[in-house]
Every structure is written in C-alpha cells, then in structure tokens.
Amino acid sequence: MKRCVILLTCVFIFSCAAAAYALDVKGLQPLAPHGVFSTFSTSTNPAGIFATQFELEQSIDPSSYQLNSSVSFAITDTAEASATIPYLLKTGESGFEDAAIGIKGRFVEEGEITPSVAALVAGSVPSGRDVIATDGRIGGGLILSKKIGPFKTHANALIYSPFKRDLNAEVDLMLGAELQAANNLSVLTELQAKKSHDINKFDYWDWKIGYRFKPLDFLYTTLAAGYGFKTRSPDLHIFLSFTIIYPPAGKILKHIYEEEKE
C-alpha cells in the first residue's frame, strides 16, 4: 500500500511538471541581427526592409523540438512589426502554439552614457492546441541597449497576461550581450529568468552561449547551446537559426558614365 501511494504521488508530480512545461509558450522572437537569441535589442532595420527567420531548437532532456518561423517589416527607421509562429514537436504534445505578433518602437537614442530605449507591444491569437497554448495573451515591456566597451548589451523586462483565467501573468527578464569577434562573426550570450503562467515565482532560468555568422550581405546564421532549469529539472538544448534580409544591406552600385572626348 505504501509503495502504491509513493508511486501515485510520483506520477502526480510528474504530470504536474509536464503540464507546467507545456505552458512555457515561445511567444514573439527577435530576428537577427537585432537581438540575442530571445533577447530583443532596440535596433531595427531601415524602413522598408523585410526579414524572415527559420529557427530550430532541440531540447535534449526532455527530448523535444521547437520549430519557429518569424517575419518582420521595418515600418520606419525606428519602428518594426514582426510575427512568430511556433510549432512544438514532442510526444503527445505536438502542434502549433499560439501565433504571436508585435510592434517594437525605439523612442530614445543611445547617448554617451545613456542607453537607447524601445517599447514592445505584443500579443498572441488563440490558434494553438490547448495543451501547448494559453488561448492567446497580450503584453509587452521595455527594451534597453547600450554599447559598453567592445560589448553590445541588451536588457528586456516583459510581462504577458494570458486569456485563460486560470493562468497567471508571465514575466520575462532577459540580459544579452554580443561581442564582434570579426567583421562577419559575433559571439553571443544570454541569461533569462522567467515566471511562468502556472506559478507565482521565477521558476525557470536559462543560459545560452553561441555565435552569429554573416556569410552573405543578406544572410545570418546563429548557433548556440543552452542550459536551463525548471522546477529543479535540467534542460539541455541547442539552437540553430537562419535569417534572410531583403533587400540585402549591401552596397548600392552606381554607374557613372563619362562622355568620350573627341
């Protein structure tokens, strides 16, 4: 009898942990090079620039895959609209999460000692499966960016309120840094603390490190490894993304014609 009670208790705890894990929705993601993994920067593409990003994240323990497709369009030189459609591939929980949309606008430029500041307004439409979605949510927050020595640093403070009444608000605190190691190569690192929908304390901590490579004027590739904790369970994961920018940010060539002198 005692063994049965212990077994049932373990099953209950495992089930609760699995449910909590399922509610960690991906949400809106930054597109390279204007962010560090999940941390947004205040920078945007020039007006009229369109970008698309494809991202694969594999969790080693527990084993699962996250496929994210993101797009962005620079409305002005300081405002950018973006959207992310996440797809979770996991035994028993596969399917689309809620699609996220948002607008980022920079309203303070970086000074000699002051950071640049941007506001993010984002939301999700209830388009995903119930087990891996929150019936949509709305929120946003502030983004700060500042160059400190050779590092570009970014800080995010974001809060999202889910439409499901039995869920709590999610709070994301993120700190990212990038170091340009070469003309087309940057080393990236990020620290994230999250208060999930199902608990009133910060129960998820994650650290990532990786690099971003720019082989072409219109292409960025990002590779990273991360180590996270949720309810004292380690989560090892790897991260790979490709970002395409159109039109390319390369130099515009001008043809100069000279009249031949006779």
Residue 255 located in a structural domain? no
Q: Residue range 68-93: average pLDDT? A: 92
Burial classification of residue 92, based on how many CB atoms lie within 10 Å of its CB (0-12 exposed, 13-18 middle, 19 or more buried): exposed
Residue 262 lies inside a defined structural domain of this protein: no
Whether 216 shows a pLDDT value over 90: the answer reads: yes
pLDDT class for 204, splitting at 50, 70, 90? confident
Residue 218 · residue 250 · CB < 8 Å? yes
Give the separation between CA 122 and CA 140, rounded to whole angstroms.
5
pLDDT at 15 over 60: no
Q: In terms of residue numbers, what domain contains 61?
A: 2-246
Task: Write the CB contacts of 9 (distance below 8 Å, at least 6 apart in sequence).
Answer: none
Is residue 76 over pLDDT 60? Answer: yes
Does residue 258 fall inside a structural domain? Answer: no
What is the total count of domains within the chain? 1
Per-residue pLDDT averaged across 233-242, rounded? 85
Name the average pLDDT for the chain. 83
Least confident span in 3-17, 59-73, 124-138, 212-226: 3-17
Residue 253 located in a structural domain? no
Angle value at C-alpha 22, between 20 and 28, nearest 5 degrees: 115
Instruction: Answer whether residue 90 is part of any domain.
Output: yes
Segment 150-163 shows an average pLDDT of 95
CATH number of the domain to which 231 belongs:
2.40.160.40
Q: Does residue 251 sit within a domain?
A: no
Has residue 191 been placed in a domain? yes
Phi, psi of 8 (to 5 degrees): -65, -40
pLDDT value of position 230 = 73
233: pLDDT confidence band, cut at 50, 70 and 90?
Answer: low
Decide which of 140 and 258 is more confident: 140
- Interatomic CA distance for residues 90 and 58, integer angstroms: 10
Residue 259 maps to a domain = no
| Cα gap 123→63, rounded to integer Å | 28
